[in-house]
Structures are given as structure tokens and as C-alpha cells.
Structure 1
Amino acid sequence: MMENVSVVTMFTLSGLNFPFVQRITIFVLVLLFYLIILLSNFTVVFVIVTDRKLHKPMYIFLCNLCVNAVYGSAGFFPKFLVDLVSSHVISYAGCMLQGYVVHSSNSFDFSILALMAYDRYVALCRPLVYQSFMTKQRVSLFLLLSWFISLFCMFMNTASLLGKKLCGSHISRLYCVNLMVANLVCSPPKANDIIAAVNIVFHFFLFLFICWSYVNLIKMCVSSAQMWKKFRHTCMPHIICLLTYTGTLLLDLMYMRFGSDKLSQHLHNFMTIEFLIIPPILNPLIYGLQLTHIRKRILSIFHTKKKIHSF
């Protein structure tokens, strides 16, 4: 009996037990959100890549944050859009891949936000050594390590679940996450628990490092009106994005572990995907509106297009 239930090739997901008309309405809304995410993030990436004046560490880190938003969104939205017009199931391999993409994207978000905080700390608190320290080679190394650590940590987390005997095939969520798959394993995988604990500790220290950077920045800038103006101009977008991302992610984690089954299905679904929608949409909008160079560059692109159409 144990062998029969452990051979799982497909997972069933939950949360879409709605009439087809409602599914179509949700499909249109989700597609709209996905297109906004793609358009806004690709716009920021395009502006930074094509404008040599923006080839600076702060903007390079922002470019990678937007690329990661597209990467993480690709792990959820295409599959979810298909589920809305078909059966809500996913293959074992697809589930592992989806969980890996979502988790690694979240991991890199923390890493890149830490780099952005450190970049602003050096720029404002150590301005004389900024140019010599934040060189192209060092920035490239920081980014390479951030991508590698994020992808590797989540690969180890996902790999620790591969091949384990499962005593169920139903995931009470719109998409796959490693914790839900781990809960289906017949014998709790100790390796997964250890790796998950290490990942949590690592990202907690990243969060503390970000807080340390901003505390020192505030101490340095609060005594000078000119420094405080620089802080508000370049650091406030980072802080808003950090608070938005951390808040939505913690809300999802807390709800996944301690959430009530009494919530309506629509609210339950929103609680499980809000961190996949809100930060990828808000981040490029916040940076596009707050950072003068990016805002002017975007406006110049649209202004040029208007001139071309007028001829």
C-alpha cells in the first residue's frame, strides 16, 4: 500500500473551484498583471542597458532586481494562466521546477536588496573610496556570487526532496512550494529540514545586514540637510521596496504556517500570491518615479515616439 501511494507523477493543486465564467474573469486580470510586470520591468532594464550614463552600481543592481522579477514571475504566471482554462494539475518534475524558480527568485531578491543597501552605505558614508571600491569587476563579482548562492541554496533545498516517498498528491495551494511537498513525504526528510534551517538563518543575517546598513546611513545623514536630501533621493526607493517585499513575503510565510481555513477562497488565493504580484509591479514603478535619471530617460523615450508619430 505504501509503495502505491508513494509513486506520484502528478500533483493536484487547489483554489480554482470556480465556475468557468469566473475563471475567465480571473484569467483576464492575471494576464493584465503579468503584462504590467513584464512591461514595467523590461522598460527599466532597457533604459539602464541602453543608457551608458546609468552603467553605475546602483542602476546595475536595480537592473538585476528587475530581471529577477521577470524570472520569478515566469515560474508562476504562465502555468497559472493555463490552469485557469484547463485542469489544475502539475507534473512531479514541473512542481519541483516551479518551487525552485519561486524560491530562488525570492532568495535573490534578498541578496540584491542587501547589495543595494551596501552600495548606498559606501556611496554616502564612504564617498572618497566609493569609486575605487565599487569597481566594475567587484560589482560583477558581487552579482555573480548573489546569483550563484541563491540558485545553489534553493537547488539543494529542492534536491533534498527528490526521490522521496510521498503519501499524498494534493497541494492546498495555487502553485507548488517546497514546504507543501515536504509535508507530503512519508518520512520527514531530515536533510531538507537542515538545509531549510540554514537557508532561513542565511537570509535572516542578510536582513540584519540590510538593517545595519540603513541604520548607519540614517545616523550619518540625519545631521546634514544636504546628506538627508541625498538619502531621501537614492535610498527611500530601496527602503520602500524592501519593506514591501519583506512585508508581503512574511505575510505569505505566516499564513502558510498559521493561516485559518475559515477565509474565503478568493482571500486565501490572494494571500498565497500577493508577494508574486505586488513587489514585481511596485518596484519598477517606484524606481521609475523616484530616480530622476530613469524617469527622465523613460519620458524622453515616449517623447521621441510621439515626435516620430507626429510626422
Structure 2
Amino acid sequence: MYLVTVLGNLLIVLAVSSDSHLHTPMYFFLCNLSFTDVCISSITIPKMLVSIQTQDQSIYAGCLAQLCCVLIFGGLESCLLAVMAYDRYVAICHPLRYTVIMKPRLCVLLSLLLSTVDALLHSLMGLRLSFCTHLEIPHFFCELAQVLKLACSDTLVNDLVNVVGILLFGVPLYGIVYSYIRIISSILKMPSAGGRYKAFSTCGSHLLVVSLFYGTGFGVYLSSAVTESSIKNVVASIMYTVVPQMLNPFIYSLRNREMKGALRTLVIGVPFW
């Protein structure tokens, strides 16, 4: 699964970079999303595979570093999905002003800044904690909730920071919902059935990716709330740190004619255009 994730997402990055027809904001965001997917998977899976092979499951000093990186790229993916929804909203509802409104590099930089500040805040708050002698996390990576459970000191400040973080990253989800409400409203007003179908088809892949990412993410927190089973929590976490990142390249390449053409040109060297 890890090899498929890395290969699939790197192919998306190479296809977008090498094909001048795909040098648009939408594909620029897709390229960054694929890079983020590779990073999320590479932070957690290789360490887990090494631990399985060597039977050495220690992480020690790297635990907070891993936690910070997971939060950075998980937050960045959330923000990128919101920016991509806004991109589709502008393209469908304000097509004549698209190039004026969309500033893709600025959007990605702001998303990275927001996720980095949030991740550093959580990590720095983790440094102030003291831990008990039992330092075993029933998980395959250093997840924030599992780390806080090990603390012997008061975690009230950390819990407050968690609440702020949840509220902060509820904003991208609100942005996605708002964008699609406006998109659907505009599409339903189109007189042509062909125009409505084309508009819906440009959003289909993104909607599927959003559903997969947020659906599995919410599943993790719901499962942790209703069960204390560490095995079930681990399986749920795999569903949002591994599965969406593996499936995203297939979703975008199989449902997108331009992407299929670019991948064909990249892999077998036969121009599609």
C-alpha cells in the first residue's frame, strides 16, 4: 500500500509538472495535494515497517517530531481540500474573474503557514508535560490523543489547545460546505443539461476525495469515543492516514480526461493532445 501511494502520487506530480496543458490553479493544487499525501504516508508507514522487521518499536525522542509532522501535513491536506473547493466555486460561479481571484501560490503558502503554526503549538505544549514510567503507545505512530493519555501532569492547557485546533480546522470544512452549496445552486440554474453535467463532473473527483478524507477522519474520533479497544483505534487511524492517500491518485486519474492524457504521455511517451 505504501509503494502504491508513493508511486501513484509521484506520477501525479510528474504529470502535472511536465504537461503545460495542466499548468492551471486546479492542477497546481492537485500537485500539492499529491505531494502532501506522500509526506503523510512517509512520516508514519516506513517507521512502522522498520519496527515490524527489527522488532524494535522504540521511537523516544522522535515521537514529538513525528506528531508535529503528522499535524502539519494533515492540516495542510485539510486546507488544500478547502482551497480546491473554492477553486471550483470560482471557476463555475465566476469564470470571467477566475484568473484575477485565484492566487494558487499564495493559497498554498497560507495553508502551510496555518497548519505549521497549529502543529508547533501542539508540539510545544507537549514538551511541557511530564510522563509516567509506562511509555507504551498502543498505536503505530505518535498520535496526539494517545500521547496525552500517557501524561502524568495536568493536561488542561493541552486540552484547551486541542479545542482551539479543532475549531481552527473546522474552518476548512465550513469553506468546503459553503463552496459546494454555492456551486450546486449555480449548477441548478443552468439551462443546459450538458452544461450541468460538465459542471458536476469537474467536482465529482474532489467531492469523493473530501468524503474519503473527512469521513475516515471523523470515523477515527467517533470510534475512539465509543470504544477503548486499541486495535479498533489503530484500524480506524489507518483508514485516514493510509487509505485516502493511496486512493487519491486513482480517483483523480480515472475520472479526469486531461490527467489520463498527461499520465499516458508521461508513462509511454505517446502524446495525448
TM-based fold match above 0.5:
yes
The equivalent position to 2:139 in structure 1, one of 147, 168, 173, is: 173
| 1:127 corresponding residue in structure 2 | 95
* 1:107 and 2:72 are equivalent in the alignment: no
* 1:57 and 2:22 are equivalent in the alignment: no
- Compute the TM-score of the two structures, normalised by the length of structure 1: 0.81
Identity %: 30
- Compute the TM-score of the two structures, normalised by the length of structure 2: 0.92
Query: Is contact 1:160–1:189 with CA below 8 Å preserved after alignment?
Result: no
Q: Which amino acid aligns with 2:217?
A: L
* 1:41 and 2:9 are equivalent in the alignment: yes
Q: Which amino acid aligns with 2:78?
A: F
Task: Give the Cα separation in 2 of the matches to 1:88 and 1:172.
Answer: 14
The equivalent position to 1:94 in structure 2, one of 47, 55, 62, is: 62
My pick for the range that moved more, 275-284 or 237-246, is: 275-284
Q: How does 1:1-311 map to 2 (within 5 A)?
A: 33-134=1-102, 138-167=103-132, 168-224=134-190, 225-261=193-229, 265=231, 269-304=234-269
Task: Give the Cα separation in 2 of the matches to 1:237 and 1:185.
Answer: 41
My pick for the range that moved more, 272-281 or 222-231, is: 222-231
Go from structure 1 to structure 2 and tell me whether the alpha carbon gap of 1:133 and 1:268 turns closer, same or farther (over 3 Å shift): closer
User: How well do the aligned residues superpose, as a CA RMSD in angstroms?
Assistant: 1.7
Query: Is contact 1:95–1:176 with CA below 8 Å preserved after alignment?
Result: yes
Q: Which amino acid aligns with 1:41?
A: N
**Stretches (4+) displaced over 3 A:** none
Deviations 1:126-180 (A, max 9, x none): 111112222xxx2211110101111111111111011421123121212211111
Query: Is contact 1:174–1:272 with CA below 8 Å preserved after alignment?
Result: no
Structure 1 unaligned segments of length 5 or more: list them.
Answer: 1-32, 306-311
Task: Give the Cα separation in 1 of the matches to 2:62 and 2:141.
Answer: 10
Go from structure 1 to structure 2 and tell me whether the alpha carbon gap of 1:202 and 1:227 turns closer, same or farther (over 3 Å shift): farther
- What displacement does 1:233 show? 2.2
Q: Which amino acid aligns with 2:143?
A: V
Go from structure 1 to structure 2 and tell me whether the alpha carbon gap of 1:128 and 1:145 turns closer, same or farther (over 3 Å shift): same
Structure 2 unaligned segments of length 5 or more: list them.
Answer: none
- What displacement does 1:237 show? 0.4
Task: Give the Cα separation in 1 of the matches to 2:237 and 2:106.
Answer: 34
1:166 is paired with a residue whose SS is: coil
Task: Give the Cα separation in 2 of the matches to 1:164 and 1:270.
Answer: 27
